Amino acid sequence: MTSAVGRLRRAVLIVATVIAAGTVGYWLLGLAFIDALYQTVTTITTVGFRELGEFGTPEKLFTIVVIISGVGAVLYTFTLAVQLVVEGELAEVLGRRRMDRRIADMHDHVIVCGWGRVGRAVAHDLTVGGRDVVIVDLDPSRVGGLEAPTVVGDATLDATLRDAGIERAGALVATLAGDAANLFVTLSARAIKPSLFIVARAREEGSVAKLAQAGADRVVNPQELGAARMASFVVQPNVAEFVDVVMHERSLEFRMHEVELPSGSALDGRTLRQADLRRQANVLVLALRRPDGSFLTNPDPDTRLEAHQVLIAVGTDVDLARLADACR
């Protein structure tokens, strides 16, 4: 596309040069300046109006030169212009079709609605965490050129969410600028897929309860979280920094991860002491989340593991992979 634009610019420059040269030539041959310009333009565009003066041999020979050079340049420029338009539209159509096919093949992906600062940060962390992401935004200029699949449209509309593959999605994150828009997205997403996990952004404290009532599984106020994080750096700077490193950075080999214990697991019914995950997987279990949603922090070694509990552990990527295998 860029090379085609460059060729078109050069072609336009050639046409302008021919017009300038033709105008000067006819002016030197005795025509007034306006008449010389008019004669040149009508000649190279093959309009075919009559000559504006008595044309002798010099004028006729010069006109032949203008026709050969000018008509060719104009036709070449017109062809490049048409090619540029067709290629641009064709590339857009083909690109959209490739994007639609890519989204159609995705399952258990995360739909991020809104490509602002919060949406970009969410999508980045999800990608780092190994999740497939589909971006939805109303402004095509904001999502143009992204590697991730994108859908340009109003995220509050059911049709836009369906284009993002919401029926096959595993989660949706509503990060639009307004709470009302995030409320509409939550309502629409919950109505289309009742089992979808939805995280919604709230700017106002009063919107948290409304978004939860609308169907959001989690409601996050970035300003409140940011304030709490800033305060923790003052009160407990080492703890806060360690949590940041474990959760978000890659400079430390250890990670904090969660693994759900499925039905039929070999660990189901065994105690933590019997499972001996410290020796078997070299991980440290920090907490358990029971099926009712309650947490058990620093669990006792005699705590019995049950199906659908979630183990929250710290270890290297290799160790955490061993933990996942052991839970299966």
Can 110-220 and 253-327 be said to share one CATH topology? no
Which amino acid does the sequence have at 77? Answer: T
The answer to whether the CB of 36 falls within 8 A of the CB of 62 is: no
pLDDT of residue 326: 86
Which of 139, 136, 140 lies closest to 150 in space, CA to CA? 136
Class of CATH domain 253-327: alpha beta
Over the chain (328 residues), what is each successive 10-residue block's mean pLDDT? 68 86 85 84 74 73 82 81 66 70 92 93 88 92 82 93 95 95 96 96 92 94 86 87 70 77 88 88 89 89 91 87 87
- Residue 219 pairs in a beta bridge with 200
Which own/partner pairs from 10-15 qualify as long-range (CB within 8 Å, at least 24 positions apart)? 11/73, 11/76, 11/77, 11/80, 12/77, 14/73, 14/76, 14/77, 15/44, 15/70, 15/73, 15/74, 15/77
The answer to whether the CB of 142 falls within 8 A of the CB of 153 is: no
The sheet carrying 295-297 orders its strands as 254-260, 310-316, 284-289, 295-297
Which tokens go with 228?
């709490």
* Domain ranges for the chain: 2-102, 110-220, 253-327
pLDDT of residue 195: 95
pLDDT of residue 214: 94
CATH topology of domain 2-102: Helix Hairpins (1.10.287)
pLDDT of residue 211: 95
Q: What is the reported pTM? A: 0.63
Number of helical (H) and strand (E) elements in the chain, helices listed first: 13, 10
pLDDT of residue 68: 82
pLDDT tens readout for residues 140-168: 888 877 778 999 999 999 999 999 999 99
The answer to whether the CB of 215 falls within 8 A of the CB of 188 is: no
Assign 9 to helix, strand or coil: helix
CATH code that applies to domain 110-220: 3.40.50.720
Which tokens go with 33?
């300046």
Phi and psi at residue 315, in whole multiples of 5°? 180, 180
pLDDT of residue 173: 97
pLDDT tens readout for residues 29-47: 888 888 888 888 888 877 7
